[in-house]
Structure 1
């Protein structure tokens, strides 16, 4: 009588229990006995980091705007991964090392697209935005740097009244058309029309818009400087005024009649910050669409967050990049777009 072919795995294929046992024996031989029991706490830390990144939008803003604070520096949670990796290897824990795959996967899903370069070449219009810092000791040097960028349109924020003439003089040769409203200004190689201040509930003018008659057609350019935010022990992340201004700016952009719109400015927030959704839900970030890396712009001495934004609607981002440091505490950021 014929007998069924038998292997150590049993009839019908490998035995999962034996395969798992063999894998556990191999890892135990490699890492030592207890390799699966050690590192449970590290594994839980990996799970916690993954959950915070994956569900950051669920962290409430009711107490100290904690959710917005987390989202401002969300990419930096990735620094926990090499620490957990080193501790897992030190503990010789297979459990901790396997659990690390969870936050790694979440981080790559959120930010992996920013690691790879997406910048193209060309572009019909190049724009630059820069918070020049009211305490900038070298407005003439900052003007020269901006004028040398080759941009067609330049937006400046935090313009101190006494320093405006220095910026006007430094930019006049490259940009014959300009307008200043309050503490923000717009300079252009092409004619500007329909220039006006934009009310963002600040009590003074920190936003404006103008129509640039570019070769590819008219385009509405907004310049904005949303209120600053601070982290205080007694109040948390003080972003309430900024959030209100973001809502007012979003209404202005929503009601803009031009199909092509570019927003240039210091929004004092990142694209991950839910509080900026009145603006970010309507426009595309040039850095996210066509940048190389994260493009952090603040602080200039050690950039940790991209709070200076170039956003578009009705035009196609081609490239986005940061410019060298000036006398400001922000880096200038630039982008090229196609019509």
Structure 2
């Protein structure tokens, strides 16, 4: 039975006071509950640690060792995508109401903006003198003639093609002949130009042919050639143009990020560029890696990326259906990139890339 006091408030046998608006709890119980809740700065220690680790990985990516599965190169290939984890961690931190995790996220945000913030703006300028383009046309391209038409429509003055098969070479030569009166093909790479070219030669980038490499005749080696150097004659003087297709990079569950042949090719190509005597150099090609990858230090120490200097966005070029990395590069020395962009898809699994340069 409930007793009623003078104020009209009932008290049951459990010692709780009932009012018309609900259950009233003693202030001491509320104080104990508040005291037992973690402070916002003490919540989410794992979240805060994850945010700090993310920032350190981006900041110190060059220190990630390559000894085990080329983890360093793999991380650098997809380094911009580390930023995707920032909003995920932020949402989690807000849900947990962790002030420490939110504060810790300042590190990865700052590092990502330092590394890639410049890629978010359009750095292109008008006034380019020459347009150069590069495209891995794909050995399995079902429509080389259509790809040739698309490339002509780009308006490029100098056009480099990689992964040209003997079966498709005739289609490219026929489709590009009218727009580009000058061209050369060595092995699986070629260059088409509206301006005269000369001094064309293969560039030995150290391709492997297996145990019979030393015994293969020169004609067979030329078939497998994946690098060339030529001179394009312009009204402003000669321009040395390199075209290269470096070895493939594959993610293997056993070997990790397999890049052995690509890395050897990159080193050999870097030495060839370093020995170049021309004051103006352009490298066009499928390097099967990004310029963030330490494997290309020998190239990036002499050349700079047109996309990083004058591009709009990251310029991802592979795979064509959903690009996640820019492995098709236009690198320059002695000329000024004014603009850089990605061309529409063709029948290849790569997107063509282009840049406008000036003297």
Q: CA deviation at 1:162?
A: 1.0
1:216 counterpart residue number: 236
Shift of 1:280: 1.3
TM-score by length of 1: 0.90
2:331 matches 1:326? no
Q: Which has more radius of gyration? A: 2
1:124 and 1:216 in contact (8 A); partners too: no
Q: Which runs of 5+ in 2 are unaligned?
A: 1-33, 210-223
CA distance in 1, matches of 2:343, 2:138: 16
CA deviation map 1:29-83 (0-9, x unaligned): 9xx8621211111110000000100000000111111100110000000000000
TM-score of the superposed pair, with normalisation by structure 2: 0.85
2:156 pairs, out of 151, 154, 164, with 151
Task: Count the aligned residue pairs.
Answer: 309
Can you give the 5+ residue segments of structure 1 that lack an aligned partner in the other structure?
A: 1-28
Residue aligned with 1:164, SS: helix
1:280 pairs with 297, 300, 304, which one?
300
Q: 5 Å matches for 1:88-237?
A: 88-202=93-207, 203=209, 204-237=224-257
Residues 90-137 of structure 1 show CA distances to partners (whole Å, capped at 9, x for unaligned) of 001111111111110000001001111101112111000000000000
Give the corresponding residue for 2:44.
Answer: 39
Q: Does 1:256 align with 2:261?
A: no
More divergent stretch after superposition (150-159 vs 91-100): 91-100
Partner SS state of residue 70, structure 1: helix
Task: For residue 178 of structure 1, give the secondary structure of its aligned residue in structure 2.
Answer: strand
Partner of 2:90 in structure 1? Answer: 85
Question: For residue 286 of structure 2, what is the aligned residue in structure 1?
Answer: 266
Distance 1:37 1:234 in 2: 41
1:136-169 superposed Cα distances (whole Å, 9 cap, x missing partner): 0000110001001011000000000110010011
RMSD: 1.1
Change over 3 Å in CA distance of 1:95–1:217 after alignment to 2:
same
1:49–1:103 CA contact under 8 A, matched in 2: yes
CA distance in 2, matches of 1:123, 1:138: 31
Q: What is the DSSP-based 3-state SS (H/G/I as helix, E as strand, rest coil) of the residue aligned with 1:246?
A: helix
Farther-moved stretch of structure 1 (247-256 vs 259-268): 247-256
- Once the two structures are superposed, residues 204-254 of structure 1 have per-residue CA deviations (whole angstroms, 9 ceiling, x without a partner) of 300001100122211000000000010001111110111111111011111
- Corresponding residue number in structure 2 for 1:14: none
Structure 1 segments of 4+ aligned residues over 6 angstroms from their partners: none
